[in-house]
Amino acid sequence: MAKREVITRLRKAKTAHIRWRGYAQALIAGVPLDEDRIPIAHTDCEFGRWYYGAGQTLQVFPQFHAIAAPHEQLHLVYMQIVKQLFESERGGLLARLLGRRSSAAAAKSDRIQQLLDQLLQVSEQLMGPIETLEQAVAASDDDVIAALL
């Protein structure tokens, strides 16, 4: 039973990450989001709370350690996106009212798209170790997993 619970929790963590990634994409698309759906620090998202909390019981698995760096990088890229979006909001009101895009606004839009592409790439780099960790847990003896909990 314990192994099944660990695998279920890993899957929930993956789902939380995918949902968070969707929130980031929605924000870039201009969809307003509740503030609680826009965590910035890698320890504040649902996945981060699990990883740096209850998930620490899995640190005996080498795959567990491969998760930290891409997860933190993901949030750093997201912080850059939020910064770019905030800066875009502050300036260019007259140009937006007139329906014109300044070259600076176009460059910011391109930069935001580049950052989104980077965010999606890092997200894939994060999902790989999570999936291999799930496979390692599934392949482990039930008694080994029970001893970790």
Angle, vertex CA 137, rays to CA 139 and CA 58, nearest 5: 150
**Alpha-carbon dihedral sign for residues 124, 128, 130, 131:** positive
In the prediction, which pLDDT does 119 show?
92
What is the extent of the structural domain holding 23?
A: 2-148
Query: What is the mean predicted confidence (pLDDT) over 99-107?
Result: 58
Half-sphere exposure of residue 122, counting CA atoms within 13 Å on the CB side?
Answer: 20
The pTM of the whole model exceeds 0.85: no
Angle, vertex CA 52, rays to CA 126 and CA 9, nearest 5: 70
* pLDDT tens-digit map of 5-50: 889 988 988 898 888 888 888 888 888 777 666 667 899 888 888 8
Task: Give me the CATH number covering residue 80.
Answer: 1.20.120
In the prediction, which pLDDT does 96 show?
47
Domain count, the chain: 1
Q: Is the pLDDT score of 99 beyond 60?
A: no
CB 71 within 8 A of CB 47: yes
* pLDDT tens-digit map of 44-81: 888 888 899 988 999 999 999 999 999 999 999 988 88
In the prediction, which pLDDT does 95 show?
44
In the prediction, which pLDDT does 103 show?
58
